[in-house]
């Protein structure tokens, strides 16, 4: 069979499958804030930098996993926030800026505030429906390790169980943790 024909058939048959793969609906913080007015949900903020290799790996592996992307889209507003952004951000009536926007690796005041001064990338900030920080989780995680984290906070199990107890009993889409 002609290699061209095989290539065309492959593209035709796999394109609809690839197009159906769910992706996370990443929002700006402002857009998430607007959506919260009509339909409150928890917020997950992916705090990243352009130079962070583990941030890129998280985007290429964990965040494209259908289990993770579907769960995040259904249960959270997902915000991607560059910790070195040059943009001004107003949150809870306070203005946040990058104090040295033209310097290399200058952290934005908002990133410092939501990461509670611990600048580690990637980090994930979970907020409740009132924009209060529930937790900050630093570091790369595979989809099977990230899934129980999402459930733990979304189901509000963090209010009644410690993480060790919860994670030991969690059975998700990837099997026993």
d(CA 168, CA 149): 12
Q: What is the pLDDT along the chain (177 residues), one digit of tens a residue?
A: 555 544 444 544 554 444 456 799 999 989 999 999 999 999 999 999 999 999 999 999 999 999 999 999 999 999 999 999 999 999 989 999 999 999 999 999 999 999 999 999 999 999 999 999 999 999 999 999 999 999 999 999 999 999 999 999 999 888 654
Burial of 104 (0-12, 13-18, 19+ CB in 10 A): exposed
In this structure, are residues 91 and 77 in contact, taking their beta carbons and an 8 Å threshold? no
Q: Which of the following CATH numbers is that of domain 22-176: 3.40.30.10, 3.40.50.620, 3.40.50.10310, 3.90.550.50? A: 3.40.30.10
In this structure, are residues 66 and 21 in contact, taking their beta carbons and an 8 Å threshold? yes
Contacts of 25 (CB under 8 A, 6+ apart): 73, 78
């Amino acid at each position: 069979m002609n290699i061209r024909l095989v290539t065309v058939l492959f593209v035709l048959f796999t394109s609809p499958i690839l197009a159906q793969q769910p992706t996370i609906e990443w929002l700006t913080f402002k857009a998430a804030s607007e959506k919260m007015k009509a339909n409150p949900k928890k917020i997950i903020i992916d705090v990243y930098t352009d130079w962070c290799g583990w941030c890129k790996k998280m985007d290429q592996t964990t965040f494209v996993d259908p289990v993770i992307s579907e769960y995040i889209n259904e249960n959270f507003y997902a915000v991607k926030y560059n910790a070195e952004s040059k943009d001004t951000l107003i949150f809870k009536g306070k203005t946040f800026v990058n104090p040295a926007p033209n310097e290399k690796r200058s952290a934005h005041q908002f990133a410092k505030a939501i990461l509670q001064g611990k600048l580690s990338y990637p980090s994930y900030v979970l907020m409740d429906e009132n924009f209060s920080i529930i937790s900050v989780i630093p570091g790369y995680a595979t989809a099977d390790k990230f899934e129980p984290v999402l459930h733990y906070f979304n189901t509000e199990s963090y209010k009644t169980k410690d993480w060790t107890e919860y994670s030991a009993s969690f059975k998700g889409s990837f099997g026993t943790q």
